[in-house]
């Protein structure tokens, strides 16, 4: 006789009782493939069910592995029935589910166990095993080793509540109805999210084609804006404050309606650049004509992040979310480390763009992160001569993102070179229209975000 008052978490309704899993079922382990043997190259009569196949509390049959008759004869005692439940016991702990009828009598991995000889409603027991109450027991009973392991005896000793047969069936029936509704809502939400994503992309596409806001023929043409930007650069070159960019170009439309580019007095046809017709007051240009691009810097060899918050945040790609910087998990560097990489900072007036691994994420820098250090896996777009937010949204458009992907070095870890960002072609509207486009985009995106974030 033993008091288990400390194990009983709550009072149960009249007619319910507490018991251990061993009181209503048996638990038996699976079996690994015999040493030196492997899966069959072909589908056979003997599927081998792995933990990776155990999904959504059932068995996913899309990528099943099979064993030959010879292998099966060696492990034929370690099968699972359609009347059993499985429970994962190694690595991933406590995932439970039912076995489809077509997999009755198939072999079971050693990383899972079968709950067999079940004396109560099987689906009710499956729900119990998935409950937070039972999962917490599994967690408490797990061996804390390199690969977590749940012993069969510990499953047998798990405490569960049991009610009448009729109540078990009613609970399963009610759960199935609710689960179907949740599944339907989830699918509808996924469909809505996909629609919102496509709508956002379409908004940006309309924006870069001059179809999002009305055109005003009285606006100063974008070509005049670019000439003014070029004149200011020439003045800085004369003052020797900047060097001449020998790759700077002018893009124009020829009499044959094709687009051409003049670089170093040489004319190139741009038919392969997928350029489309723009409104009369707009024009095409390369990124280098309206901004500079400079890289970030990795931590110096042997240096690590600071254990405490300092005055120097180090902005990583993982912090770059939703076209801004997520500050909830920022890393910091010491004054000593900062002194070594202080030339590689990013300003609130700049944009960031990811250039390694994840390519082409673009965003703004919050005021509180002005002049903080930037990872080597991103670059800053600085000295921006057009509206910064307009440039942000245009760089996020599918037209520009496609250019980034085409310019990416196809290596083990994708890399977008700074020079290739500078050669990106973008559409430029009159400056007043840039402001109107930004206002309209943000108005629509705000509505889209409200729809996407709605709760059911």
Entry pTM: 0.71
Compute the average pLDDT of residues 310-336: 95
Residue 361 in domain? no
Residue 168 in domain? no
pLDDT tens-place string over residues 356-371: 988 999 999 999 999 9
Residue 411 has pLDDT above 90, yes or no: no
pLDDT tens-place string over residues 422-454: 999 999 999 999 999 999 999 999 998 888 776
Residue 398 in domain? no
pLDDT tens-place string over residues 148-185: 889 999 999 999 999 999 999 999 999 999 999 988 98
The count of structural domains within the chain is 1
Domain boundaries, position 116: 5-163
Residue 121 in domain? yes
pLDDT tens-place string over residues 100-157: 999 999 999 999 999 999 999 999 999 999 999 999 999 887 776 667 889 999 999 9
Residue 198 in domain? no
pLDDT tens-place string over residues 48-96: 999 999 998 999 999 999 999 999 999 999 999 999 999 999 988 999 9
Residue 170 in domain? no
Pick the closest to residue 360 from 415, 441, 290, 308 (CA basis).
415
Residue 456 has pLDDT above 50, yes or no: no
pLDDT tens-place string over residues 226-239: 999 999 999 999 99
CATH number at residue 147: 3.90.220.20
Residue 172 in domain? no
């Amino acid at each position: 006789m033993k008091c288990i008052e400390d194990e009983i978490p709550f009072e149960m309704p009249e007619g319910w009782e507490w018991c251990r899993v061993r009181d209503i079922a048996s638990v038996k382990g699976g079996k690994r493939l015999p040493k030196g043997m492997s899966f069959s190259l072909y589908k056979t009569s003997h599927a081998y069910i792995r933990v990776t196949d155990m999904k959504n509390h059932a068995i996913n049959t899309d990528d099943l592995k099979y064993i030959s008759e010879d292998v099966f004869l060696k492990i034929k005692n370690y099968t699972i029935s359609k009347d059993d439940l499985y429970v994962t016991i190694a690595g991933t702990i406590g995932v439970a589910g039912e076995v489809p009828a077509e997999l009755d009598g198939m072999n079971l991995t050693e990383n899972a166990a079968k709950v067999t000889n079940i004396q109560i409603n099987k689906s009710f027991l499956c729900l119990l095993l998935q409950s937070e109450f039972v999962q917490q027991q599994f967690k408490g009973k797990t061996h804390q080793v390199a690969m977590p392991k749940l012993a069969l005896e510990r499953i047998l000793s798990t405490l569960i509540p049991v009610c009448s047969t009729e109540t078990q069936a009613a609970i399963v029936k009610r759960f199935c109805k609710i689960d179907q509704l949740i599944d339907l809502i989830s699918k509808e939400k996924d469909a809505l999210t996909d629609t919102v994503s496509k709508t956002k992309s379409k908004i940006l596409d309309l924006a870069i084609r001059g179809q999002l806001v009305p055109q005003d023929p009285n606006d100063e043409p974008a070509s005049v804006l670019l000439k003014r930007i070029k004149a200011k650069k020439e003045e800085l070159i004369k003052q020797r404050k900047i060097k001449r960019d020998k790759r700077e170009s002018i893009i124009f439309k020829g009499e044959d309606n094709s687009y051409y580019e003049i670089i170093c007095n040489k004319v190139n046809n741009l038919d392969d650049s997928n350029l489309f017709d723009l409104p009369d007051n707009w024009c095409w240009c390369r990124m280098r004509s309206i901004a500079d691009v400079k890289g970030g810097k990795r931590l110096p060899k042997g240096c690590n992040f600071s254990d405490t918050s300092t005055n120097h945040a180090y902005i990583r790609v993982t912090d770059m979310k939703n076209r801004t910087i997520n500050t909830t998990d920022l890393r910091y560097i010491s004054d000593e480390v900062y002194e070594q990489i202080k030339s590689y900072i990013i300003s609130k007036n700049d944009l960031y763009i990811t250039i390694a691994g994840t390519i082409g994420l673009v965003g703004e820098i919050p005021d509180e992160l002005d002049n903080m250090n930037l990872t080597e896996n991103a670059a800053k777009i600085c000295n921006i001569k057009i509206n910064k937010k307009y440039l942000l949204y245009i760089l996020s458009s599918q037209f520009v993102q496609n250019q980034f992907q085409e310019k990416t070095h196809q290596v083990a870890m994708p890399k977008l070179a700074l020079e290739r960002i500078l050669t990106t072609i973008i559409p430029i509207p009159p400056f007043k229209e840039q402001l109107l486009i930004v206002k309209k985009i943000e108005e629509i995106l705000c509505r889209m975000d409200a729809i996407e974030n709605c709760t059911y």
